[in-house]
Amino acid sequence: MRVGFLKKTIAASVVIFLTTVLSAERSFAFSPFENFTKEQKLITLNAAVATGTFLWGVAFWNYGKYSPHGKTELWFDEEAYRGGADKTGHFYATYAATHLLSYVYESWGYETAEAAKWGAISTFTLQGLMELGDAISKYGFSYEDMIMNTVGSTMGYLTYRYPKLANKIDFRLEYFPSEGLIKKEKIDFTTDYDGMKFLVAVKLDGFDFVKNKYLKYLELQLGYYTRGYKWETGPVSDRSRNIYVAVGLNISKIANDLSFKKTSRFLNYYQIPYTYLPLEHDFNDD
């Protein structure tokens, strides 16, 4: 979908806002939600986000102005929208949102397993509702998006539910504003795919058989990114769809060892540029 990653960012912003309100008893002398059970908070949060997203869709995404329809978006084909980068964006956004909601639910008193389950269900459902909204908008329902949403929420569940798995792998976004974004003086960084890379990192520190203390600071990465599809600042021949493998530094572990705990957690989701050595292949050169 043409605004998929932007939608996820907006939805996440709504979630964060509502979460702040629902948890407000520690910040305000009175909160209308302070006597809610954790189940009531979960229902209220999801209902509010679903309603808010639908109303936003009616106002800004043309929900309801088209008959139900779908389309194929060609996955990662050379002619696909953004070269398929939005598909990895769907996966990452759903994965990260699952972790966010799972964390919120756990803070409300759910056990880790239950929090992970409801975090995944909530995220998958909300993303699915947006796809259904797309079906009655100019964008159309995309089964590719739904598949990536499903995989993202599943991996979000597994890595939150099983900490030993999370110690071994991260799914991250690398981002630095692209030349096209800067030249055009745009502020819509959420769809600036020319500045993004999506990757999975396998962290050697999570494996017991790795005994060398220096090797524990290394990780193996597999990533995908596209260039030249968003801003079209050059000829079509400048477009690229790139896959890479890399050896990188586990910056999250370094931060954790230096007692920067919050920074360490953030770096489980964000990849700092130029902290790895990649070997790349451009599919557009085939």
Sequential pLDDT tens for the chain (286 residues): 555 555 555 555 555 555 545 554 444 444 556 788 999 999 998 998 888 888 888 877 788 888 888 888 889 898 888 899 999 999 999 999 999 999 999 999 999 999 999 999 999 999 998 888 888 888 888 899 999 999 999 999 999 999 999 999 999 999 998 887 777 766 667 778 899 999 999 999 999 999 999 999 999 999 999 998 876 555 666 899 999 999 999 999 999 999 999 999 999 999 999 999 999 999 999 8
pTM attached to this predicted model: 0.88
> How many domains are contained in the chain?
2
Same domain, 38 and 176: no
Same domain, 162 and 185: no
Same domain, 152 and 47: yes
Same domain, 126 and 191: no
Residues of the domain holding 214: 168-286
> Which residue, 106, 138, 166, sits at the end of a domain?
166
Same domain, 131 and 184: no
Give the pLDDT confidence score for residue 283 in this predicted structure. Answer: 93
Same domain, 162 and 190: no
Same domain, 199 and 212: yes
Same domain, 172 and 229: yes
> Which residue, 110, 135, 166, sits at the end of a domain?
166
Same domain, 138 and 195: no
How far is Cα 276 from Cα 56, in angstroms, rounded to an integer?
40
Same domain, 109 and 6: yes
> Which residue, 166, 186, 215, sits at the end of a domain?
166
Same domain, 212 and 266: yes
Same domain, 52 and 179: no
pLDDT tens digits for 161-195?
Answer: 999 999 999 999 999 988 877 777 666 677 788 99
